[in-house]
């Protein structure tokens, strides 16, 4: 079986997400699963055409029947994709070993970065809990006209607000932010250090200039890299043709 590359997928730990997509427009993984199929900038395939193509592959029929008896194929496809997505979970990272008591698991610089993460750098105000996300939506001051959650929710605080991503395996998930405008962890840290790029009424109160020193920025990056786990590779099965 062919393995996917080691870059961490954006569906990492999605099993615990409360709303899906950067703008939160999907409430479940099943609802989310088929959206990329019909999205014009992704697969650009109508659901009707998807069902036609899948139905014309004889090998799929017994597999769907075995997994989802008497379920319409469209629902079965969504359930199957969502079920797979729930298995994409980060495992133990060096940070977790340190929390469990292994003082040698992370460097002194990373330990200082953790202090900064929870203090001066203000990261933990949104990136909280074991998964390092509050599952909320925030305007962090990125440029652009995409209203994010505000397109679906008419609240001032939700205008230009986007979902807080997990920081698990963050150094494997470049580019960063909802628009991919930041290419490295260093540039993301620099963006937050300057307090974002656009000041709007919806800007989250936590987004302010941080005045981090170069050493503090390096330490914060060192901590973020300690959230990366060595996960079991995802195998691509042999599919019906």
For 132-188, the pLDDT digits (tens) are 999 999 999 999 999 999 999 999 999 999 999 999 999 999 999 999 999 999 999
Read off the pLDDT band of 4 (50, 70, 90).
Answer: very low
Our CA dihedral for 208, 19, 228, 105, rounded to 10 degrees, sits at 80
Residue where one domain finishes, among candidates 28, 58, 89: 89
Cα–Cα nearest to 93, from 190, 11, 14, 172:
172
In a domain, 238, yes or no: no
Given a cut of 70, whether residue 29 has pLDDT beyond it is: yes
Task: Output the average pLDDT for the chain.
Answer: 93
Clarify whether residues 51 and 140 are in a common domain. no
Distance of alpha carbon 213 from alpha carbon 224, whole angstroms = 17
For residue 108, the enclosing domain spans 94-225
Is the Cβ–Cβ distance between 111 and 167 less than 8 Å?
no
In a domain, 80, yes or no: yes
Q: Could you give the count of Cα atoms lying within 13 Å of 143 in the half-sphere of its Cβ?
A: 5
pLDDT of residue 46: 95
In a domain, 155, yes or no: yes
Is the Cβ–Cβ distance between 25 and 137 less than 8 Å?
no
Clarify whether residues 190 and 154 are in a common domain. yes
In a domain, 190, yes or no: yes
Q: Given CA atoms 192, 195, 198, 203 in this order, what sign does their dihedral have?
A: positive
Q: Which of 3-7, 11-15, 178-182 has the lowest mean pLDDT?
A: 3-7
Tell me how far CA of residue 147 lies from CA of 143, 212, 241, in angstroms: 11, 29, 41
| Vertex 162: Cα angle to 13 and 132 (nearest 5) | 35
pLDDT of residue 9: 57
In a domain, 104, yes or no: yes
pLDDT of residue 1: 35
pLDDT of residue 233: 81
Clarify whether residues 160 and 214 are in a common domain. yes
Read off the pLDDT band of 2 (50, 70, 90).
Answer: very low
pLDDT of residue 10: 78
Clarify whether residues 139 and 195 are in a common domain. yes
Q: Kindly state the tokens that stand for 141.
A: 């001051």
Clarify whether residues 45 and 141 are in a common domain. no
Distance of alpha carbon 68 from alpha carbon 75, whole angstroms = 9
Read off the pLDDT band of 238 (50, 70, 90).
Answer: confident
Is the Cβ–Cβ distance between 33 and 78 less than 8 Å?
yes
Given a cut of 60, whether residue 7 has pLDDT beyond it is: no
Given a cut of 90, whether residue 236 has pLDDT beyond it is: no
| 33-69 tens-digit pLDDT | 999 999 998 999 999 999 999 999 999 999 999 999 9
Cα–Cα nearest to 17, from 41, 33, 36:
33
Clarify whether residues 138 and 114 are in a common domain. yes
Number of domains observed in the structure of the chain: 2
Distance of alpha carbon 162 from alpha carbon 23, whole angstroms = 6
Tokens 């199929």 correspond to what residue?
37
Cα–Cα nearest to 117, from 163, 161, 167, 164:
167
Given a cut of 80, whether residue 20 has pLDDT beyond it is: yes
pTM across the whole model: 0.89
CATH of the domain at 197: 1.10.760.10
**DSSP state, 111?**
H
**DSSP state, 20?**
B
Mean pLDDT (whole number) for 90-117: 98
């Amino acid at each position: 079986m062919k393995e996917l590359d080691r870059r961490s997928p954006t569906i990492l730990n999605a099993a615990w997400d409360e709303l899906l997509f950067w703008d939160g427009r999907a409430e479940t993984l099943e609802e989310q699963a088929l959206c990329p199929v019909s999205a014009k900038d992704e697969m650009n395939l109508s659901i009707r055409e998807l069902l036609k193509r899948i139905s014309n592959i004889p090998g799929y029929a017994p597999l769907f029947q075995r997994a989802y008896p008497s379920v319409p194929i469209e629902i079965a496809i969504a359930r199957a994709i969502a079920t797979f997505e729930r298995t994409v979970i980060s495992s133990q990272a060096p940070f977790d070993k340190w929390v469990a008591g292994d003082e040698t698991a992370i460097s002194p610089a990373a330990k200082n970065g953790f202090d900064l993460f929870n203090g001066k750098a203000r990261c933990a105000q949104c990136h909280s809990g074991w998964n390092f996300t509050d599952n909320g939506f925030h305007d962090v001051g990125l440029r652009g006209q995409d209203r994010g959650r505000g397109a679906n929710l008419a609240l001032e605080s939700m205008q230009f607000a986007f979902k807080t991503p997990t920081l698990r395996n963050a150094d494997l998930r470049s580019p960063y932010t909802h628009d991919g405008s930041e290419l490295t962890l260093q540039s993301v840290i620099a963006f937050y250090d300057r307090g974002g790029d656009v000041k709007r009424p919806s800007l989250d109160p936590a987004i302010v200039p941080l005045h981090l020193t170069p050493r503090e920025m390096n330490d914060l990056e060192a901590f973020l890299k300690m959230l990366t786990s060595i996960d079991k590779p995802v195998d691509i099965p042999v599919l019906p043709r």
